[in-house]
Structure 1
Amino acid sequence: MQQGDRVRVKESVVVFTHPEHRGQAFDMQGQEGDVATVLNDWKGRTISPTLPVIVAFGRYKAHFRAEELEAIS
């Protein structure tokens, strides 16, 4: 996965911070967005974050594992 790729959330991922459903459980499964960033280093040092893929859904961004996403061609 690289920055700019179009992806879809393929697994059930529940968030509580979605701007249209703030404070309520919202399942992101099926939502489509663009990969904003893939975190793999910080200040030149290799890191291993738990949720390394940041996906932008319009103005809203969320962190995911690579296994939770599928590329859209």
Structure 2
Amino acid sequence: MQTGDKVQVNTSVVVFNHPEHRGEAFDMQGQNGEIVTVLNDWKGRTISPTLPVIVAFGRYKAHFNAEELTSAG
């Protein structure tokens, strides 16, 4: 997975901060987005974040684990 790749959420991931559903549970499964960043270093040091893939869905961005996403081609 690289920056700019189109991806789709393939597992049930519930968020509560989606701008169109603020304060409500919203399942991201099936949503399509674009990878903005893959976090793997910080100030030149290797890191291992829990949710390293940042995906943009329009103006909304969310963090995901690589196993929760599939390529949307």
TM-score (norm 1): 0.99
Deviations 1:15-70 (A, max 9, x none): 00000000000000000000000000000000000000000000000000000000
CA distance in 2, matches of 1:72, 1:11: 14
Percent identity between the two aligned chains: 78
Moved over 6 A (4+): none
Rounded Cα–Cα distance in structure 2 between residues aligned with 1:6 and 1:40: 19
- Structure 2 portions without partners, runs of 5+: none
Give 1:37's aligned residue: 37
Partner of 2:17: 17
Question: What stretches of structure 1 of length at least 5 have no aligned partner?
Answer: none
- SS of the equivalent of 1:3 reads coil
Q: With the length of structure 2 as denominator, give the TM-score of the two structures.
A: 0.99
Report the 3-state secondary structure (helix = DSSP H, G, I; strand = E; otherwise coil) of the residue aligned with 2:20.
helix
Query: Number of residues paired by the alignment?
Result: 73
> Distance between the aligned counterparts of 1:6 and 1:27, measured in 2?
19
